[in-house]
Structure formats: structure tokens, C-alpha cells
Amino acid sequence: MRVMVVGGGVSNEHDVSLASATAVADALATRHEVARATIARDGSWTVGGDALAHPALVAALADVDVVFPALHGVGGEDGTLQGFLTTLGVPFVGCGVEASAVCMRKDVTKAVLAAHGVATVEGRVVASAADAAAAVTALGAPVVVKPLADGSSVGLLVARTAAEVAEACAEQPMLVERYAGGMEVDVAVVELDGSVRVGSPLEIVREPGGVFDASAKYGGEPPFVVPARLSPELGARLEEESMRVFAALGCRGLARVDWFVQGDSLVCNEVNTMPGMTRLSQVPRMLLDAGVPFDDLVDGLVRGAVRAFETV
């Protein structure tokens, strides 16, 4: 097949996306004809090194069988590009418009999961100093402050006072959550050529009172344990609940469901619809441990996207 792999984008995760796109394109190139596309930080496109205005871009997209949007964050993972490709009738890897938009907004994800009876970390949207004081009073200290719609743990921090929360939320509304203890575990759910697979759970080793922020994720060897140190019974529950979350949010293709395991309780943290896709990223490592090599993973995602489009 002719596959266009898109990387870059306008979000804070531009560089991370470029790494994902390179890994995906290199893997697919052993089995398919690959067109490499990059979205610059200003939103302009290049395909195969050539800058393309919108009419030429539409023509280039019409010439491929499927698009792999290895884009993270706003403008690429939030339904924007997915809507464009849907309008053009071009198959693409990953979630559709609605699920992409819902999962990009952490507060909306919580609301949908709550309606399906899935426990999530208690939190509030904070947009003012008064909101900050109310949030700390309701949630207790410390709290975790994170952007409403961003990934790669960008802007994630722990705050211990209302003043610290207010400062963190001074420029834009943020999500403030109760600090969740227990084990942090990720689960990958993927659809490979028509069949749903769940990767081995991945444990993120945290320092007491710490968070898995951008510096921990990209500042060296990430603190991952695969498979996570869970009982078989708890592992089976995590798999079942992750598939339930995947279905409740209307996901397709792939998603990474992040959890806090607190004793026998499972609390959903958030859902990422286009997680990092280098060979060392969480989802590929989880699938590799489950017996799916990286090249087979990206090939299966591409074939699954085409199959899903043909059955609509």
C-alpha cells in the first residue's frame, strides 16, 4: 500500500511527534511505499520535502491508501486532522473525530467515563484564584495540576497550596486533581488488522510524592517495568477495564489507557489516542512484551485502518 506518515504539528509535542513519525515510517518502508509528511509549527505542510499549498496537499492525500497521523497533542490528536481526512474520504490510523476530541479534553474524558461507571481521579477545572482555593479545600493537598488538553506530561506539576495552584492556572484554565497514590500502570489497546489486542501492562516507577512529568519521560531512561508487577487476577481486571474504557469512549485503532492501582481498586487517570510511537515508547514496549514486534504493530494498525474504512 501507499502510506502517508505525518509528523510534527503545531502543538508543544512537535519534536516528540517527529521522532514517532520517523520510527513509524522507517518500519512501514520495509513493507509499503511510504510518503513522509511534516506539519511545521506554523501549520504548513511538506510532503517528501516539498512544500504543498492546500490544493496540492489534497491531491497528495488522494494519492495514498491510508494515512498514519503520528501526531501528538492539539491540532493533530484532537480530531482536527481526523475531520479533514474524514471529509476527504481518506482512511487513517487511530480514533475518529469524536473519540479524538473527547480524549484530548481530560475533563470531558472524566465526564464520559463517569457516565459509564468507570472510576477516575477526582478533579476540578480551575480558572481563577477563587477556583484554586476551592479546589485545594475540596481535594486536599498536595494536588496535581495539568493542562486540560495537552500530552507528553507537558505542564504537569504538583502543588501544595492554593497560591501555587492559582499561579499555575494564571494563563489558562487547568485541571486540578487529587494526588493519586498507588501504582501507576498503562495499558495499550490496539486493533490489528481487525482483531483487538491488549499489550502487557506497563508500570511507571514513581518517587514517593512525585509525578511522571516531561523530564522523567524524556530526561533519560524512563522508569518502566514491563510487565507491571501485578497479580494475574489484577492484570486480567486491568485488561478487561481498559477494553471497556476503549469502547465507552468510542476509540478505534489504538489507545493507551493510564491507571492508578490502589490496592484492589482501579482508578483511570487519562486516555491517549495517539501515544508515542518510537520503538522505546510505552505502547510499542507493551505490545512487544505481548509478542507483537514494532514492525508488525505499525503494519497491523495500517491494515486495520483500511479494513475499518472499507466496512463503514
Q: What residues are labeled active site?
A: 13, 152, 218, 256, 258, 270, 272, 276
Q: How far apart are CA 99 and CA 251, in angstroms?
A: 6
Q: Is 224 exposed, middle or buried (0-12, 13-18, 19+ CB in 10 A)?
A: middle
Neighbouring C-beta atoms of residue 211, cutoff 10 Å? 19
Q: How far apart are CA 214 and CA 151, in angstroms?
A: 9
Q: Are 18 and 24 in contact (CB under 8 A)?
A: no
- Please give the grid coordinates belonging to residue 297: 504493530
User: What are the strands of the beta sheet with 123-126, ordered from one edge?
Assistant: 123-126, 174-178, 143-147, 157-159
Q: Are 183 and 261 in contact (CB under 8 A)?
A: yes
